[in-house]
Structure 1
Amino acid sequence: MPSVELSSGSIDYQDTGGQGPVLVFGHGLPMNETQWRKVVPLLKGYRCVLPTLPLGGHRRPMKPDADLSQRGLALLLGEFIERLGVDDVTLVLNDWGGGQFLVSEGRAQRIARLVLVACEAFDNFPPGPARALTAVCGIPGGVRLLTWLMRVPAFRRNRNGYGGMSLRGIPDEILDDWFAPATRSRAIRRDFAKFATSAPDRETLLAWSERLRDFDRPVLVVWAAQDRMMPPEHGPRLAGLYPQGRLVEIADSATLVPEDQPERLAEALIGFLAETGAQPARHAG
């Protein structure tokens, strides 16, 4: 897997390559690029870039002084895009919504459009049902305790945690992969805790959200009908916040739409890209 050295440390990423429009995918806590494993193969003619962000599922720790706050992660994502040297990027987020703060921070010059899939927004950082888990991460040894609890089937499948993020259920081997780095490495657990406990207060989050009105490029908001993590009213509210926002609702899905409804998500994404000037590359034969 290739990597790029950034100010906070080394970021691994997958890149399908090709001459098509560039899509950069974000992921949730403590997930990695496999969150999109069902969707990327459906996006023929697009260059899909999937960084493994330091949200706890990353395989190499960041520098000890790395800023892994919500704002810091957004800026790190922007730095990653800059280092790739690509423009006219479509940024696709699911679960973690902090990538939107590139707009709030005035660092979205390379972003041509946003796709926000059942993600954190407004003051829902972290999502209500997950706040008990993030509180655990704030106590000494808390992340280690969480990785241990994730081995217990009843905890792993709890609907107020990861068991509530997918109607189909996240396969055990995928969850094991997401939690493996924090299970093995104390430094990764440090990074995990730094990010998990980084959400600012409600007033700050809402002030940052107001700045999103400045993003005058196309935005697709995809909301899940059976989502327990992201409030149902946030979908239309988020689409209305952006001047060029549009909303698609997907039934029979929880937060992880790429897990529950990858075909419908890919269809909505391809249609949005084509309508906003990002046609897929065509290959001879």
Structure 2
Amino acid sequence: MHEIHIPSGVVEYDETGSGPPVVLLHGLLMDHTVWDRVLALLPDGFRYLRPVLPLGSHRRAMSPDADLTLPGQVRIVADLLNALELDEVTLVHSDWGGALFLTAYGLDNFPPGLPGRMVALAAALPGGLRLAAGQLRIDWLRRLPPLFGQMARRPVPSELIRRWTEPVLRDSGVHRDLLAYCRGGFDKATLVRDTEALAKFEGETLVLWSPDNRVMPPEHGRRLAELLPRARYAEVPGAYVLSMLDEPEIVARELGGFPTGRAD
């Protein structure tokens, strides 16, 4: 793993390949390894970077005064891209979409679905996030809808769950960071304004959606694609939110075709 210093602290990231940069982001209580299955299938000729964002599975706690609210997390991504001197980057969002996948044009599903509401509830209770992380380690519990039952159609491997939950269970600084994000509050008017600003984005966009999941409704994906001026909409049949785990071949084909212009 590499490290990069930004104003909020130290961010770890994995890097492989060379060529135009493709940055793969992850969601809450996950790290870069959520992309392992897809990464092995992506085409050569690109520089793939997978940062570990401070969303609960990071191993380097951020500075105590870092802004880790939703706007702060978006700034962290921007600072990271600047620090790595990345130009003309293809940015891949998943699960956690920053200010991209939220409330404009009816995208008022944040925190998303039952799992998102359970995270918000756990963050409000003393010790709730650590309790939830511990429950994720119990196979039959994490398959229930409030945990990962609606996130992945296929069982998430236990070794991944242990890796993702270890930091928040053992490191008080990481636990503090996760609480700061979950308790940061989400202002609907701001989310609407920031999402509507995507209509001014002039770059090409791929909206890759899982129509079979119950957390992020299919109509939200299509509305997002309609909002973006140069968007192509595609689906991953049979997958839930974590489509890169459920159907890595489909995700790799779509992502690999997008930056190379070879999409079917």
TM-score, length basis structure 1: 0.86
Match of 2:108 in 1: 123
> How far does residue 196 in structure 1 lie from its aligned partner after superposition?
2.0
Cα displacement (A) at 1:99: 5.8
Q: Which of residues 210, 215, 227 is equivalent to 1:224? A: 210
The answer to whether 1:242 aligns with 2:228 is: yes
Range 4-13 or range 262-271, more displaced:
262-271
Change in CA separation of 1:71 and 1:147 when aligned onto 2, cut-off 3 Å: same
Whether 2:166 is the aligned partner of 1:180: answer: yes
| TM norm structure 2 | 0.92
Rate the CA distance shift 1:251–1:65 in 2: closer, same or farther, 3 A.
same
User: Displacement, 1:125?
Assistant: 2.3
Query: Greater helix percent: which structure?
Result: 2
Letter in 1 for 2:112: P
Question: What is the distance in 2 between the residues matched to 1:193 and 1:186?
Answer: 10
Q: Determine if contact 2:206/2:258 at 8 Å carries over to the other structure.
A: yes
- Check conservation: 1:69, 1:195, Cα contact below 8 A: yes
Distance 1:248 1:4 in 2: 34
Q: 174, 180, 184: which is aligned to 1:198?
A: 184
Q: Which runs of 5+ in 2 are unaligned?
A: none
Which residue is 1:273 aligned to? Answer: 259
Shift of 1:21: 1.5
For 1:59, the equivalent position in structure 2 comes to 59
Cα 1:160–1:145 shift into 2, 3 Å: closer
Offset of residue 79 of structure 1? 0.6
In structure 2, relative to structure 1, the CA distance for the partners of 1:153 and 1:40 (3 Å cut) is closer
**Residue 10 of structure 2: SS of its match in structure 1?**
strand
- Take 2:147 and 2:125, find their aligned partners in 1: how far apart are those partners? 18
CA–CA separation in structure 1 for the residues paired with 2:219 and 2:148: 22
Output the amino acid matched with 1:128: G
Taking the aligned partners of 2:260 and 2:221, their CA distance within structure 1 comes to: 22
Q: Deviations over 1:145-176 (max 9, x none)?
A: 22232233332111232122111111111011
CA contact (8 A) 1:126 1:199 kept: no
Report the equivalent of 2:122: 136
Task: Pick which of 126-135 and 198-207 moved more.
Answer: 198-207
2-side partners of 1:128 and 1:164: how far apart?
A: 9
Rate the CA distance shift 1:199–1:214 in 2: closer, same or farther, 3 A.
Answer: farther
- Measured in 2, the distance between the counterparts of 1:264 and 1:89 equals 22
Q: Which residue of 1 aligns with 2:243?
A: 257
CA distance in 2, matches of 1:199, 1:221: 26
In structure 1, what is the equivalent of residue 97 of structure 2?
97
Contact 2:21 2:86 in 1 (8 A): yes
Aligned equivalents of 1:141, 1:249: Cα separation in 2: 38
Q: Matched residues in 2 for 1:83 and 1:173: separation? A: 32
Which one-letter code corresponds to 1:41 in the other structure?
A
The alpha-carbon deviation at position 42 of structure 1 amounts to 1.3
Whether the 8 Å CA contact 1:163–1:170 is kept in 2: the answer is no
Give me the identity figure in percent: 39
> 2: distance between equivalents of 1:39 and 1:140?
37
Give the aligned partner of residue 40 of structure 1.
39
Deviation (angstroms), 1:234: 0.5
Question: 1:205 & 1:133 partners in 2: Cα distance?
Answer: 19
* Structural RMSD (CA): 1.7
* Alpha-carbon distance in 1 for matches of 2:189, 2:176: 27
Shift of 1:251: 0.6
SS at match of 1:94: coil
Q: Is the 8 A contact 2:134 2:165 kept in 1?
A: no
